[in-house]
Structure formats: structure tokens, C-alpha cells
Structure 1
Amino acid sequence: MTKALATVFSAVLLTAGATAFAQTKNVTREGKNGGVREVTRTRSEGTVTTEKTVTGPGGKTATSERVRDTDGSDGQRGQTVTQAGPNGRTRSASQTWTKNEDGTATRERSATGSEGRTRSSTTTIGNGQATKTVTGRGGQTRTRTRTRQ
């Protein structure tokens, strides 16, 4: 293999009897130091999934997966990211935007660290005010409201 090796594979999969389609793109590259990086991206019905795998010259592997909802047809958009390092530790984060019937928008976020502790927040924006509620890793909750003057 050469250092500038780049293999691109693209396939379109048609589901029998369905109007939706999935498109997959796979890219593999070899780094200068002998490591290999592989990225697979799949698009299907408003969802984009990206999976990355990196293998170092010593054989250790790290992975990540990102799932995004891009169309928002159900009133929600968002993404989830999960990462696993070569030492076996995993962390994840997610974010969702929702349009509410009263004209406000809500953003929910959460993150879980490699120790398993979770932090989350909810923000509601609209109608002249913003309210944010944060729950820390220790379980304490704080709420703050701002009102337009």
C-alpha cells in the first residue's frame, strides 16, 4: 500500500417496494506513520450515520459513531455521538431541537463521560423569554430564566 492510498466505494441500495433509498460511501486512507483511517457514511431517509475507525501503527483502535437527524419532518432535529478510545473507555453526547406548538423551541443536551456520569441541560426559547435547566454530574439542578425587557 502507498501512503496516499485512498479507496472510495459508493453504493446505492434500493429497498424492494419502498421509495426510500440508502446511500453508503466508504473511504479508507493510510497515514504517514502506517496507521489506517476508515470512514463510512450512510444517508437514509433524513438520517446521516458516520462511522470512523482509526487503527494506529501499534494496532490500537479508536472508533466513533455520529447519527444525525437532518430532515426535521417530525418537528425534531438532532445528533448523537459515541466515541470509544483505544483504552476501552467510551463517552457519548446527544442534542435534540424540538419545535413546540406554542411557538417556542426546546434544545435538550446530554453528555456521558467515560466514568459513566451524565450531565444534561434543557433550554426553552421563545415568547420573550429563555429558560435553562442544568443537571450536573453530581445530580444538582440549577434553573435560570431570562426575560426580554
Structure 2
Amino acid sequence: MSDLRPRPSVLFVCVHNAGRSQMAAAFLTRLSHDRVEVRSAGSAPADAVNPAAVEAMAEVGIDLSAQTPKILTVAAVRASDVVITMGCGDTCPVFPGRRYLDWTLDDPAGQGIEAVRPIRDDIERRVRLLLADLLPEHA
């Protein structure tokens, strides 16, 4: 990460920006207490956030109902220190100087709440580990 940035910047990317990346961004936003700049985007954004993801996050006190899927842009990747992909394949542009991680997670698209809960919990665990790595002095 650049020493010129006041806080690290993370971009979560999945295909539709309707489930996994939205949940990850919401967890990092909440857990970092504004110490990390958080973005999410999709290579082919859906029209709306997955209702099962909204319901699963509401169960842990996070409201995704006002979120909307966003298109992945080159500018978003360039502005991020860490880019975490979740099943977007080769559609994510790669730039030198960024840290790339690929999280293999089940896709919640078309699944009910029972299937989405374990995905949500896995994402929260990964976000907590990421946060400890990004801000070790605050872990």
C-alpha cells in the first residue's frame, strides 16, 4: 500500500455485484469503522441486490436494502490497493502495484436464505482476516 494514502482501499468484485461483493463490502465497512475505503462492483451488474443476501445481512444487523449493483470500472481498480475477486474470471483488469486476491465462494444467486447464511458467514470470516492484515495495529 502506498504511504501517501490515509487509509487502505479495497475493491470487492463479483459478476453481478448483487450478493458476495455486496456482503463483503458491507462487512468491511462496518468492521473497519471507516479506517478502510471500501468499494464493490460487478463485471455484469444485476438490476438489484439479491433479496436472500439482503435478508441474510439483515439477520446480522446490516441493511443492504438501499444498495444497488455497480459496474466495474478501470478507475475503481486503479483507485484500490487491494482487489478481491469472487468468481469474475478474467473480466477484472489487472494493474501493477495492486494486491489481488481471489476468494472462491459459492454464488448466492437463485438460492434461498438457508444456502446464503453459510456464504455470509464465510465472507465475514474472510473479511475479519483481511482487516487484521490491512490494519494489524487495530486487530
- Do they superpose with TM above 0.5? no
Which bracket does the TM-score occupy, shorter chain normalised?
A: under 0.3
Q: Which has the higher strand share?
A: 1
Structure with greater contact order relative to length (CA < 8 Å, sep ≥ 6): 2
Structure (1 or 2) with the larger CA radius of gyration: 1
TM-score of the two chains, using structure 1 as the length reference: 0.19
Q: Given the two structures, how large is their TM-score scaled by the length of structure 2?
A: 0.20
More helix per residue: 1 or 2? Answer: 2
